[in-house]
Structure formats: structure tokens, C-alpha cells
Structure 1
């Protein structure tokens, strides 16, 4: 295909290219004699549960823009990776797909090594539902020993509203709690996880009048960055600058890095991390 055709219909070119790279045998389809490599158009259409005519039009640059649902089905039919799916949406609609909620899958060893390299700065990775799935040793020492908790209890909203120690450690608990609730509402809606988080919302509404009050306000906000002020049981008052980052290739995950606000605070945290663990009498 010449350059002019490619520029005129980049979506069709991409679909045809991805289709040509699939092995029919991997899908239980007879290889037989095929004029071109990969799957046929009608085979992709069948896997995506769309009309073969409509799929053909997409490859030919006809029929208008597809819906996000159709693109998702085509992405699944073509076995696209997350970055390939994102590229498909950019070509077809001009924007990235919405974040998709995933059941907690944990993090890769590579991402864990990134967290560990950030010591003595506490760092966390959480899902769109604010479930903690990764942390480093500094986070364990300064924030919460997440590894000592059952996986289902590692949720930021549970810490803020149901854990008295976490509540007491916040210099301005009301502001922190309101902020967490507003970001939680926004991220879960963006990820399409409203159904999945409803049991947690119902539980917190029953058990915490404060949560019920804040949830009813319907406030939303983005995470961004700021300063977190803690009352640490050993270090005393402590200021931590924080920033939130998207995890490349995992739009359902966010990383939060807390940086001690002053060199002196950094040294205090480092010294605490190097101190031998306390022994029971």
C-alpha cells in the first residue's frame, strides 16, 4: 500500500497489519491455502461479534468512526496488548481508551524493584479502587505495614475511616479524608468499577458516619501532588511532599511517591530504616 493510502486510512492499515500477524492454527482454524497470511476479515469479525461487512468497511476507511465497544471487541479479537489497544483507539477516535478496571493482579518484579530503589522515600502502587498492591520498606516504616495485613484489608479508605492509628497519625484528618473520598469517587467512575466497589462503599457507610457524610457530598477531584503531614510515633511531626504517577502499560495503576520535605527529614527517615528492629522484653 502506498504512502498516500496509508495516510488516508491509518486505522485500516493497522487493522490489516495486526490481522496478518495472527496464526490461524492458534485459534483452531484450518490453515489450508490462504491468499494472504493471518486471519481473514470474516474470521476477525466473527471473533469480535460484528458484521463482516462492517469490519471490511473499517479496513477500507468507510462507515464512519466505530464505537468504543466495537473497538474493544476488535482489540480482543486481534489479541492486542494494552499499548496496541491504546494505539487502536488513538487511530480510530483520536483519544485513549478509558481506564479499564481489573481485579487486583499485583505488580511485576520490575515495578517492585523500582519501588525498592526509591527508599528512603515511601512509595506505593494502588489500583483504581485504591487497593494497595505494591510498596517499599520506607512505606512500611512510615505509613503502614501492608505486608502484615490480609490482602483484602489493604485499602486506603479502610485505613482512613476504620483504623484509629492511621486516623490519629494525620495532622488534618478531615481534609485528608475528604480528599481521598473525592479522588476515590473519580477514579472508580473513570475505571468503570462502580459495581465492584459498591460493597466497600456500603460497608463504610454502615460503619463510619464520617464516610457516609463525605460520600453524600458527591465531590470529585484528581490526585496530582501536595504535602502530607504526619504525626509519626517515633519521628514525631513529619512533612512529606507527594506526587502521583501513572504506571506505563497499566492505566489501572497509580504510583504515589512521598519525599521527605527537607534534607533533615530525609536523614531522620534513613536513620529509622537503618535502626535495628525493636525486640520484645
Structure 2
């Protein structure tokens, strides 16, 4: 297996080995938590309009000691703005909220296929990239048919697809479909969140003990060796440090297989969020 210290995107951009999720991180306390992560070495900050923290993320970037060009800010378009004009306006509004001149990466958060507007939203991202508002464009929670529809309509393939991915729902078929199209898979909530906490799983804890690593480091390593870019939220500097430093060991194939075997299929999804059914408008 291969460990990746960086991930190459189809538009020539590179990502480091891990990103910092910012959901539920807000206010002045959130700024200190992001600065803590930057001290550890994180450079990718993942936010969304629906997280209600774009202003905090922008302030953390502007007040950081890290030069702007070394940071990678990723934001997401909510379902309420899939219509073309609304999407363009909201991308601009999000930039005003952050106080930034551009987003390094911008995703459509959910396809909301019942609304039949995600192709229109994708065209807005394509044009916003041409206008210089966004450097890299991608999607989140898109299934193969959604990907093919936007690629056919615009001729532009997303650079990344951020999807649900953790040991109880490994989403391997969608990862393979992303790979087939040259799209990097990103994992949101790679530990399964508190309601589906894989960090306490006996198999993962046993593997962690074998390598003298934390369960979190094992899961992030498992993602990396499957060529998946993990986005992990952590507020404490200790956890931020542990999550960042997961590249100094390699899981044997037998241990990769054990983690793969924990998959529960559709029952393993967090809150049953199937992209063909789940809709997000905030």
C-alpha cells in the first residue's frame, strides 16, 4: 500500500495529507482552536455556509501568522442557492463574510436531486472559477449519476467529491467511481461522529494497540492508504496533533482488510443521509 504525504487534484492543485473540519467551531474560541491547529501544521480549513462560522474562519485566516497563499480555505454552497444567480451571489456573499478575496476550494454541499438544480449550481461554480472567485471547484455527497450529469452538461469534472466515509460505512463503491473519473475522494466525519463512534470499536482499538498508535491515527492512515483525503474536526491541540501525525507507520494489508470488514452498508450511514433522499437547504 502507498501512503500519501500530499494528494494531487485533476486541476494541478495539491492538498496535504489531512484537513481541519470546522463544523461546530465558532466565535472567539473557534479562532483560538484554528490557530492551535495551524501551529500544529494544518493548512486546509473546511467550512460551509451552513456551519454559521464563515466569519470566524476568515478572521482566523487573516489574523494568522501563516501567509494567505500557504492556506487552503474550502467552503460549500447550500441547497437554498442552487439556482444560478443565487449561487453566484452567495459565493460572493461568503467571500464578504470571510473577508477573503477568493476561496481555494468550493463545493456544492449536497446535490438535492429532487430539486433538479444541481447542474445549474455546478455551472455557477464553473463560472465563479473563471471570475477568479474560486481556485478549485468540487462537489460533496454526489453519486455517480450526479457526477455524470454535471460533467456532461459543462465538460468540467469536479476536482474532489467530499463523501461520508468511516469504518462503518466505507463507501468503497463510490470511491472507485470517483477514482474512475479522476476525482479525489474526501472523507467527512471519518470517525463516524459521536452517534456512530468508530474510535471505540474493539477491532480498531486492537489494531491501534498493535502499532502503538491511537484509534484515530489508525483510521486516518486507513483512509490515506485507500487514497482518500480525510477532513477531521478536533478542538483540542492534543487531538489535533495526533490526527496530524499519522504518517509515520503503515497498516499491513491484513489490518486494512479487518477495518474494511467493519462496513455495515446502508445501515452504517450517519443519520441515514443517503444523497438520493437527503436534502439540505441551509
Higher helix share: 1
Task: Output the TM-score relative to the length of structure 1.
Answer: 0.27
Higher Cα Rg, which structure: 1
Q: Which has the higher contact order (CA 8 A, sep 6+)?
A: 2
Task: Output the TM-score relative to the length of structure 2.
Answer: 0.27
